Amino acid sequence: MNPSNLLQNMRTGDVRALARCISLVENESEGYEELLFALDINQDIPVIGITGPPGAGKSTIVNALIGLLSKEGKRIGVIAIDPTSPFNFGSILGDRIRMSEHFLDEKVFIRSLATRGSLGGLSAKTIEITDVMRAFPFDVIIVETVGVGQSEVEIIGLADTTVVVLVPEGGDEIQGIKSGVMEIADIFVVNKADRDGSDLFINNLRKLLHDKEAKAWNVPVVRTVASQQEGIAALNEKIREHFIHKDVSKKEFLLTEKAYRLIQNHRMKNIDKQGLHEDLRQALKGKEFNLYTFVQKYFG
């Protein structure tokens, strides 16, 4: 089926057409650019980014949000960014394992993307695939990132609302939160809030936010115990409030970030990491290997 027919079917809610469109874009198969150029992107579909350090319970929160939204009759698209093994370039985690309870729900579409060597927490194709999903009649799209190191910051170039998930490891450790992560959060979630020290951690986080320069949107802190469904309704309400709030200047910033990453990805598209590995392996056989001389030949 050609891209225009796929798009037409996708717009009517054909899930198989959506899956084929995503595969076309992810694999950069023939006709994928034609498909992207023809997208009718619905900017009124909110994109929620869920990020934070490993072990914070991001997938549990996403599961709980999916369940809540599905009960409301919402149609939900989920992009789960999985870490990639540096040795075999495959996806380590599996969204259908993590979110298996929603697998048979007709209102829920879940797609897993491997980072494929991307330095940050987003797959290189996440921007395009999110826009493909915004051309489908979803009510909401959730993007869950790997959230390793500083990669959480990448989500600001993609999501209308960025939810940063933390856990209370100790009330006095609030200063350990990276400043970049503090800046990107539209909503903070302190998950596993039944742990010792959670009240002190939450109070310190709120104080830190209060001490920052006042903005039009005051970043809330929501306490959850996602495994028990506690606090999920409150989180969903804050997400709704933030999307209604809409910051025009942020939209311009988001589009600038998207454009920058699309240009960056396009310029890097001919650099295959596996091929790079093989070239490096061959170059190392030389007696006078120099990394900078080796890299120079890739500059164009």
pLDDT tens-digit map of 180-207? 677 788 999 999 999 988 998 999 899 8
Full-model pTM: 0.83
**Which is higher by pLDDT, 146 or 145?**
145
Tell me the residue ranges of DSSP E strands in 153-273.
161-166, 187-190, 221-223
* Dihedral class, residue 231 (left if φ above 0, else alpha if ψ from -120 to 50, else beta): left
Confidence of residue 77 (pLDDT cuts 50, 70, 90): very high
pLDDT above 90 covers a percentage of the chain that reads: 46
pLDDT tens-digit map of 229-271? 999 999 999 999 999 887 766 777 778 878 887 888 778 877 8
Rounded distance between C-alpha atoms, residue 267 and residue 218, angstroms? 38
Q: Which domains does the chain have, with CATH numbers?
A: 1-40 (no CATH), 42-250 (3.40.50.300)
Name the nearest CA neighbour of 81 among 118, 106, 33, 107: 118
Amino acid 182: pLDDT: 74
pLDDT above 70 covers a percentage of the chain that reads: 80
DSSP 213: P
pLDDT higher than threshold 60 for residue 163: yes
Token match 């960056």: residue? 264
Confidence of residue 61 (pLDDT cuts 50, 70, 90): very high
Rounded distance between C-alpha atoms, residue 32 and residue 30, angstroms? 6
